[in-house]
Amino acid sequence: MAVLPVRGVCYDAGVQYARDFHSRPHWRPDEVRRDMTAIRSGLSCNAVSIMATDPRRLIEAAAIATDCGLSAWLQPRLVEARPRAIEAALRALGPAAEALRTETGRVGVNVGCELSLTSRGIVPGRSFAHRGQRLPRLIGTHKPRFDKALGRLLDRLVTAVRESYRGPITYGAGDWESVDWSRFDYVGLDTYRDDHNAPVYIEQVRRHVAGGKPVLITEFGCCAYRGAARRGGSGYEIFDHRTDPPSITAEVTRDEQVQAGYLTESIDALAGAGVHGTFVFAFSEPMLLHTGDRATDADLASFGIVKITRTAGAGPDATEQWTPKAAYHAVARCYEALAPGDDADSGPATAG
């Protein structure tokens, strides 16, 4: 029977995705502790991947996570940043990450997410969305150049964080990126099954497993509406946050079982393929509020396995509230079934 040593979820601690959109504008450590407790106890996770633009949030959230019994992977997410800024962020993160790793033995660093698209300077384009639109037309001719530039950037990032950090390192690679994994402790794959890659999805993962280095699926998931499983990672495109109020731009029907089924099938298939761990994207998307009106129900475009029923505000009483979706319970059942008999933690505590 398959087991899954690292059973995780991605946690959004606040990412500046655009000048006018921050995913968690209000920082409340008590809410983070509530969430990490649910991740450990309710989801049967033993690991969490934390993403944030502010490195102080990464460290504070990781300290809370490890205190709750979780291994924590830290990922600075600087959307639209130039290589020099990303390098500086990892260099600055290193000492605090190493101190927490030394104290807890449960910290890893993920140096970035799909950097050929999320950063500037590899794939041409004025924004993440623009680069994503151009990539399919450019990848056939320019992939060797893109991969070479990405490789140079990853070398710089690993060197920067290694100045002070001695623990395990990975990277969240998109399906279009070819990475030299020799410099990393884990292969990290951001890979979402959809209609286009479904026939080869697991075989592509198996090829990485066959390389001998432990494989982490650093992101995978889908939204909770009919048809979302076919869209995979592009399911969020039905949402436009620039309208007032933000709105759903497609005629879709909410169906939480779609998300639950997708994650159940994916986790079982990935565990069967021999991956070392999986991180569901995501626990929540804090600013995508669930409403009863389809046109404004931003949760329809969320990959979160809990739905936000009240966003956090600036006042002391304006706390965030959420409720589990069907996928939350589905992931918990999968992870409980796939835990090793001794529930051993084979995450950052034992690597590096």
Nearest C-alpha neighbor of 48 from the set 28, 23, 25, 66: 66
Check pLDDT > 90 for residue 80. yes
181: tokens are 């994994």
Within the chain, where are the H helices? 29-37, 55-67, 83-104, 115-118, 128-162, 201-209, 228-231, 256-272, 326-338
Residue 20's pLDDT is 84
pLDDT tens for each residue of 325-349:
999 999 999 999 999 976 655 556 4
Asked if 50 and 75 count as a contact pair (C-beta separation under 8 A), the reply is: yes
Segment 56-73 shows an average pLDDT of 98
Tell me the C-alpha distance between 254 and 228, whole Å: 10
341: tokens are 């008999």
Asked if 101 and 167 count as a contact pair (C-beta separation under 8 A), the reply is: yes
Residue 342's pLDDT is 66
Residue 320's pLDDT is 96
Segment 36-51 shows an average pLDDT of 98
308's enclosing H/E stretch is strand 306-310
Check pLDDT > 80 for residue 317. no
Helices 55-67 and 29-37 pack at an angle, to 10 degrees, of 40
Q: Which residues pair with 321 in a beta bridge?
A: 310
pLDDT tens for each residue of 188-236:
999 999 999 999 999 999 999 999 999 999 999 999 999 999 999 999 9
142: tokens are 């320019």
Asked if 150 and 177 count as a contact pair (C-beta separation under 8 A), the reply is: yes
At 236, the amino acid letter reads: Y
Percentage of the residues of the chain whose pLDDT score is greater than 90: 89
Burial class (CB in 10 A: 0-12, 13-18, 19+), 137: exposed
pLDDT tens for each residue of 156-195:
999 999 999 999 999 999 999 999 999 999 999 999 999 9
pTM of the model: 0.96
Residue 246's pLDDT is 82
Task: Provide the mean pLDDT of the chain.
Answer: 95
351: tokens are 């690597």
34: tokens are 């509530």
Residue 240's pLDDT is 87
pLDDT tens for each residue of 241-299:
788 778 999 999 999 999 999 999 999 999 999 999 999 999 999 999 999 999 999 99
DSSP per-residue string spanning 157-187:
HHHHHHTT--S-EEEEB-TT----GGG-SSE
Check pLDDT > 50 for residue 351. no
* Residue located via tokens 């959420």: 322
pLDDT tens for each residue of 84-139:
999 999 999 999 999 999 999 999 999 999 999 999 999 999 998 899 999 999 99
Residue 350's pLDDT is 41
Residue 316's pLDDT is 73
348: tokens are 């950052």
Segment 139-155 shows an average pLDDT of 96
Tell me the C-alpha distance between 165 and 205, whole Å: 29
52: tokens are 């944030």
